[in-house]
Amino acid sequence: MQQSTVNPNLTDDQSISFPQADGSEVPYSVFSSQEVYEREQDRLYRGPFWSFLGLACEIPNLHDFKSTFVGDTPVVVTRTADGFSCWVNRCAHRGAIVCREKHGNAASHTCVYHQWNYNSKGDLLGVPFRRGQKQGDVMLVGMPKRFDPKEHGLQVLRVAEYRGLLFGSFSADAPSIDDYIGPEMRPWIDRIFHKPVVYLGCTRQYSKSNWKLYFENVKDPYHASLLHLFHTTFNIFRVGMKARSIPDSRHGLHSLITVTKPEVDSDTAKAYQDQGIRSMNDGIQLQDPYLLGQIPEYEEMCTNQIQPIFPQLVVQQIHNTLTCRQLLPKGPGNFELVFHFFGYEDDTPEMRELRLLQANLVGPAGFISMEDTEVTELVQRGTVRDGDKHSYMAMAQDAPEQTNSNITESLIRRFWAGYQKAMGY
């Protein structure tokens, strides 16, 4: 997609000013401005980035397809004889949505409006009355003689697969998917996707807040033990846990947070009390704590791996529950979050049941996640006015080299620095 289609109103965008180059201060207008949103659609979702489309195991058979979005552009991704294909879900004739199902199987797709028909790669196959129709002695003409179906296929995106994750890009300048994910992030994607996975379904959540507030949230280990009181109330999240907070070195837009149980599991309730943190409720216990367990299945016993791959994916392992969260912007003030659950093909019945039970921890009703959309909405509502005022994120600012801390905002700062560059702010 050419970059020159920028809305003229955007070329001279003086209204957005980041006070700091390091991303520590973010003007509130980026969360509600329509101009910023339009620019993101152009520069990010049509720019040299790869947007997560779904898991290959969602469309396991030839001609299986799913409808989804790149930014707010509706697209369809489908399995073809030689790989995967992705096209904009918009008829080349009059612009109608061609594929009206969320998922299914079809060797070809027909627009209902005038029955223009496309194969699974988006090539135009048939146009009704293309060659006209004979009516008595009169030939009613059809399409012009110069009409060439090859020039009227659906708009096609590049598709890349990395270990069963499908990505789409409008840009010829997006690097190879290996380079895009990068050397810091790849080992952790490989960790989760080291053997064949099976799709377990999705849950969808709709938030009245800007998509970047959610991206901040998944780069923010500082909030975990303070907002999500399930941890502290039931004494799960322990202060002594080993942590990683690692950005990717390419643009800082991807990142990794892990939390690993210490070898000796000591009770650190006292540490919470000493800090005066809310809710260390002695005596409140779960009657059935089975869902807090974890069956070891990786070399390192991480309780949490939260890994956003910009701009549409968050890979998540929490205990034994595995999801790919797909983050879809729906205008400046709304986003949809799709939790795609998966397991491994060789799961035992016990493991599969545990993965589903631990779905209680995450998603819209998640014991340790339901607050996330609550707070992104609080920020959205709090920042509705005074767009030139800004947030202040300085935790661990004096130690940029420190990547073993959970009390840091370094990943958010790296994100905003990368965002400023990508957006030209």
Partner 1 sequence: MNKQLQLWIELSELQHRYVHTLDNDLLEQWPDFFVEDCRYEIVSKENADRNLPAPVVLCRNRRMLRDRITSLRHANIFEAHTYRHAVSGLVITEQSDDEITAVSSYIVINTGAAGESTVYQAGRYEDTIVKADGLWRYKAKRCVYDTSRVATLLATPI
Binding site for partner 1 (CB under 8 A): 102-103, 199-208, 227, 229-230, 233-234, 279, 281, 284, 286-288, 291, 336, 339, 341, 353, 356-357, 359-360, 363-365, 367, 370-371, 373-374, 377
Q: What is the Rg, in whole angstroms, of the alpha carbon atoms belonging to the chain? A: 24
Quote the crossing angle between the two packed helices 34-43 and 410-423, to the nearest 10°.
80
The enclosing H or E element of 74 equals strand 73-80
Q: How far is the CB of 52 from partner 1 (least distance, A)?
A: 18
- Which whole-number Å values give the CA distances from 424 to 10, 14, 17, 186, in the listed order? 11, 11, 10, 27
d(CA 179, CA 252) in angstroms, rounded, equals: 13
Between 118 and 230, CB nearer to partner 1: 230
Between 231 and 390, CB nearer to partner 1: 231
Between 78 and 258, CB nearer to partner 1: 78
Q: Please identify which residue in the block is written with the tokens 């296929």.
A: 153
Between 96 and 227, CB nearer to partner 1: 227
Q: How far is the CB of 95 from partner 1 (least distance, A)?
A: 25
Between 48 and 364, CB nearer to partner 1: 364
Between 155 and 203, CB nearer to partner 1: 203
Q: How far is the CB of 341 from partner 1 (least distance, A)?
A: 4
Q: How far is the CB of 361 from partner 1 (least distance, A)?
A: 10
Q: How far is the CB of 356 from partner 1 (least distance, A)?
A: 6
Straight-line distance from the first to the last Cα atom of the chain, in angstroms, rounded to the nearest whole number: 21
In contact, 324 and 316? CB cutoff 8 Å: yes
- Which whole-number Å values give the CA distances from 110 to 91, 100, 152, 312, in the listed order? 9, 10, 14, 28
Q: How far is the CB of 53 from partner 1 (least distance, A)?
A: 17
Reference 352, options 341, 362, 340, 363; nearest CA is 341
